[in-house]
Amino acid sequence: MALANENYLKTPEVYCFDDIEKSINAYKILHPDKKLLRLGVGDVTRPLPDEVIAALHKAVDEMAHQDTFRGYSPPQGYDFLIEKTLKEYRSIGVSLEKESIFVNNGAKSDLGNIGHVLGRDNIIAIAAPVYPVYENATIMSGRAGNLNEEGEWSNIVYLHCSEANGFIPELPKERVDIIYLCNPSNPTGVAMDRTELKKWVDYAIENKSIIVYDGAYYSYVNNSDIPLSIYEIKGAKKVAIEVRSYSKIAGFTGLRCGYTVCPSELNAYTLTGESIPFINLWSRRNANYNNGVPYIVQRGAEAIYSRKGKKEVKELVDYYLNNAAFIRCELLRKGLKVFGGEHSPYVWFKIPDGQPSMKYFMHLLYTYAIAGTPGIVFGKAGEGYMRFTGFGSSEDTKEALRRLEM
């Protein structure tokens, strides 16, 4: 008898965003002539930068000739992309070793995979509200414990974020082993500055914890007080894994490429207290389970580091940031409590009259033909809030906020 990993049964049968999509599709069937404006989508909508397209075409042509054909990528990634990544870090004063960079097929995969090389007895801390992958990966790995009446898992330490603390996660009162931090945050769009982030690095050093740092939105930061990388904080290489993606900065959601940084200074520990370089564990997993990101995709990623590529990526990011800033401004003008939208494509706001977020989602959908993301999909702490994003077109974003005036 083949036994199932029953921890998988503890997660929702349908991924939360798929459930939202079903509601949207039902609306579209019922109202085929109504233009739906999407302010909830976490996917990008603008075309790939020209420099990326040119690189992809060139790489495809190379695959047609014997002397330039490529098969499997090196498990860690091609040197040409790793070297450009290292140079990008050096531009912000961060020096990393070549061996520390692992090219991946997007941040989401590695954010889940990291748990495979860490012991099941680790105490996990996640912010609440939170990107669902952190919690679901913990549940699927058998680390979450039992679900209590409050809708929280007994073995997860929730770092509750609220209006009272500006949706900035606070240090746990107990000791934890693994800490998931997203900065700027998905879903709230709030960004921790250097002072706040240093508290976490210091805590991790003191407790021999590991911070899994989701930096998917680093390129949206436009304030020098907010670090672009956790490694700008002294001591962070000893305690932090940084995961980045090209999805939201260069439109790679359909190509899938990013990278994970595992500094050589970072250690995990055996039950007897013996230190083990985390990079050794990650390298073993990578070599055994990964045949690499396609050559064509890595050439496309390399292109964003050229002078023209950087210019085009900045224009892309600015486009989405301008949308978010417009949403933020209009919601504030309506007297709503608003967070994010300054260093992030996400705008997080309190729902009027204390309505449940799913009810408000359906109200926006059927009254204004506007689709947002209800806060409840990010956990119980997200109830009462809604997430809008700047990932739509500028025209649709302005039209959506105009409809809300009616």
Same domain, 301 and 312: no
Identify whether the C-beta of residue 261 lies closer than 8 Å to the C-beta of residue 272. no
Dihedral sign (CA 43, 139, 15, 115): positive
Same domain, 33 and 58: no
Q: Hey, is 164 helix, strand or coil?
A: helix
The pLDDT score that the predictor gives to residue 150 is 81
What is the H or E stretch that residue 357 is in?
helix 357-368
Same domain, 202 and 59: yes
Final residue of a domain: which of 243, 276, 306?
Answer: 306
Assigned token pair, 391: 């990932």
Which CATH number is 358's domain given? 3.90.1150.10
Q: Flag whether 222 is in a domain.
A: yes
- Using left for φ > 0, alpha for ψ between -120 and 50, and beta otherwise, residue 189 falls in left
Estimate the crossing angle of helix 50-62 against helix 307-333, to 10 degrees: 140
Assigned token pair, 392: 């739509």
Q: Flag whether 352 is in a domain.
A: yes
Percent of the chain with pLDDT over 90: 80
Same domain, 337 and 361: yes
CA angle 98, 243, 214 (to 5 degrees): 150
Distance CA 91, CA 34 (A): 48
Indicate the pairing of strand 338-340 with strand 178-182. unpaired
Distance CA 193, CA 79 (A): 32
pLDDT in tens, 323-359: 999 999 999 999 999 999 999 999 999 999 889 999 9
Q: Which of 106, 168, 180 shows the shortest CA–CA distance to 141?
A: 180
The pLDDT score that the predictor gives to residue 151 is 81
Final residue of a domain: which of 306, 341, 373?
Answer: 306
Same domain, 281 and 322: no
Domain of residue 392, residue span: 9-47+308-403
The pLDDT score that the predictor gives to residue 116 is 86
CA angle 197, 198, 204 (to 5 degrees): 95
Same domain, 206 and 225: yes
Name the pLDDT band for 406 (thresholds 50, 70, 90). Answer: low
| Residue 387 bridge partners (DSSP) | 348, 373
Final residue of a domain: which of 238, 273, 306?
Answer: 306
Distance CA 75, CA 73 (A): 6
DSSP letter for 2, please: P
Indicate the pairing of strand 385-389 with strand 275-277. unpaired
In this model, does residue 186 exceed pLDDT 60? yes
Query: Which of 65-74, 128-137, 291-300, 339-348 has the weakest average pLDDT?
Result: 128-137
Residues 6+ apart with CB under 8 A from 319: 46, 394
Distance CA 193, CA 137 (A): 27
The pLDDT score that the predictor gives to residue 13 is 58
Token look-up 């260093």 returns 343
User: Would you state the torsion angle of the CA atoms of residues 328, 329, 332, 336, taken in this order, to the nearest 10 degrees?
Assistant: -30
Which CATH number is 278's domain given? 3.40.640.10
In this model, does residue 16 exceed pLDDT 80? no
Q: Provide DSSP, 11-64.
A: S-SS-HHHHHHHHHHHHHHH-TTSPPEESS--S--SPPPHHHHHHHHHHHHHTT
Percent of the chain with pLDDT over 70: 99
Token look-up 């949706």 returns 167
Question: What is the domain count for the chain?
Answer: 2
Distance CA 390, CA 341 (A): 8
Q: What average pLDDT does this structure show over 186-213?
A: 97
> How buried is 174 (Cβ within 10 angstroms: 0-12 exposed, 13-18 middle, 19+ buried)?
exposed
Token look-up 């039992």 returns 146
Q: Flag whether 3 is in a domain.
A: no
Q: Flag whether 2 is in a domain.
A: no
Name the pLDDT band for 176 (thresholds 50, 70, 90). Answer: very high
Q: What average pLDDT does this structure show over 402-406?
A: 84
pTM given for the model: 0.94
Distance CA 267, CA 129 (A): 28
Same domain, 225 and 236: yes
| Residue 389 bridge partners (DSSP) | 346
Same domain, 191 and 235: yes
Q: Flag whether 1 is in a domain.
A: no
Same domain, 296 and 336: no
Q: Flag whether 275 is in a domain.
A: yes
Q: Hey, is 238 helix, strand or coil?
A: helix
In this model, does residue 363 exceed pLDDT 60? yes
For residue 170, CA distances in Å to 2, 156, 166, 218, 289 come to 43, 15, 10, 21, 35
In this model, does residue 15 exceed pLDDT 70? no
Identify whether the C-beta of residue 120 lies closer than 8 Å to the C-beta of residue 144. no
In this model, does residue 14 exceed pLDDT 60? no
Q: What average pLDDT does this structure show over 257-266?
A: 97
Q: Flag whether 162 is in a domain.
A: yes
pLDDT in tens, 27-76: 899 999 999 999 987 889 999 999 999 999 999 999 999 999 999 999 99
Same domain, 86 and 183: yes
Same domain, 64 and 169: yes
Same domain, 259 and 372: no
The mean pLDDT value of the chain amounts to: 94
Q: Flag whether 385 is in a domain.
A: yes
